[in-house]
Amino acid sequence: MPIDTDLAWAAQLLREGELVAIPTETVYGLAANAFDAEAVLKVFEAKQRPAFDPLIVHVHSAVQAAAVAALEQAAPELRTQAEALMDRFWPGPLTLVLPKTPRIPDLVTSGLDTVAVRMPDHPVTLALLHMLPFPLAAPSANPFGYVSPTTAQHVADQLGGKVPYILDGGPCTVGVESTIIGWEATVEQWVLYRHGGLPLEEVEAVIGGVGRASKRVLPASPGMLDSHYAPLRPLLIGSVPVLAGELAGKRFGVISFRNRHVAHRCEVLSPGGDLAEAARNLFAAMRRLDQGAVDVILAEHFPEEGLGRAINDRLMRAAAKRG
């Protein structure tokens, strides 16, 4: 299995236009040279990702972000706010959607004139980025639509045969994908494309209220797809005792926040009631239940605040698979 910690080898593969799975604080990414359309095409093929789903470009600094996002051409207010966000939250789980530079191939952005960019907070991947003369386009390293990987082994389990090398940086410390906001030129406002690892409250403390992207305003933001991040087993959300009562005879697994429930298998994400810990454990728990001998997965609603919003968002999209 090609899982190891050899940075020089990973850098060489990327320079040759190959794919490498990389650790980040959110989830593992499947990376390619963001300036090389041929390399990026391999990402779409390995993931079986539809070409309408744009990738996030990973950079090692705000300076490198300027090669990706054309901030100098942006309205002064947008530029000031984007720089304030980078300054405050990078490296970290905040992705900014900004006007793109011509260096970024259309394939990366699915033909949009905006690009998603972020600086990951992981020492291994930051060191790798510093070794390379280009940024890395990287979506989550999982087959399209399935639960995202939070360990190197998760990547190997699903994409092992399709990725030449998996750079192991240990388990992800945040555990859910980045929060994505973007400047929506038509409404001249920042809008939210996806709840994620940085609580929206923290973003709003810096730039004020963030609007909600409607599917009409946004032609192509598959992070907004109803069904995504989904296990293979059906998943139902609500009161666990009530749902369990309706499932006579079925074997069910449970995803709960703090309390243990009577079930074939119960995954308690944070006995101490810490939403960040719960987010970190969410995807691994979903995978374990998906692989275990259960017919259905039941999940509680999490508190709709901080990282609880990202957790509820992922659970709802996992549940939408059934429809």
The footprint of ligand AMP (CB under 6 A) covers: 53-54, 56, 97, 109, 112, 114-116, 139-140, 177, 180, 182, 193-194, 221-223
Contact with Mg ion (CB under 5 A) among 33, 95, 110, 140: 140
Taking the complex as a whole, how short is the minimal distance between the CB of residue 140 and Mg ion, in angstroms?
Answer: 3
Taking the complex as a whole, how short is the minimal distance between the CB of residue 258 and Mg ion, in angstroms?
Answer: 28
Paired residues of 100 in beta bridges:
69
Q: What is the C-alpha end-to-end distance of the chain, expressed in Å? A: 36
Which backbone phi and psi does 275 adopt, to 5 degrees? -65, -35
Paired residues of 235 in beta bridges:
297
Taking the complex as a whole, how short is the minimal distance between the CB of residue 19 and ligand AMP, in angstroms?
Answer: 14
The residue of the chain with the least Cβ separation from Mg ion equals 140
Q: Which is nearer to ligand AMP, 218 or 235 (CB)?
A: 218
**158 lines the binding site for Mg ion (CB under 5 A):** no
Q: Which is nearer to ligand AMP, 169 or 253 (CB)?
A: 169
Task: Identify the residue whose tokens are 């994400």.
Answer: 269
Partner touching 57 among ligand AMP, Mg ion, none, CB below 5 to 8 Å by kind: none
Question: Are 314 and 287 within 8 A, CB to CB?
Answer: no
Q: Which is nearer to ligand AMP, 36 or 53 (CB)?
A: 53
Give the binding range for Mg ion (CB under 5 A) out of 4-12, 108-116, 135-143, 306-314: 135-143
Q: Where are the alpha helices (DSSP H) in 104-160?
A: 106-109, 123-131, 152-159
Taking the complex as a whole, how short is the minimal distance between the CB of residue 9 and Mg ion, in angstroms?
Answer: 25
Contacts for 202 with CB less than 8 Å, ≥ 6 apart: 89
Residue 15, both tokens = 């320079």
Q: Which is nearer to ligand AMP, 172 or 244 (CB)?
A: 172
Q: Which is nearer to ligand AMP, 7 or 225 (CB)?
A: 225
CA atoms within 13 A on the CB side of 92: 14
Task: Identify the residue whose tokens are 């790798």.
Answer: 128
CB atoms within 10 A of CB 148: 25
Interface residue list for Mg ion (CB under 5 A): 140
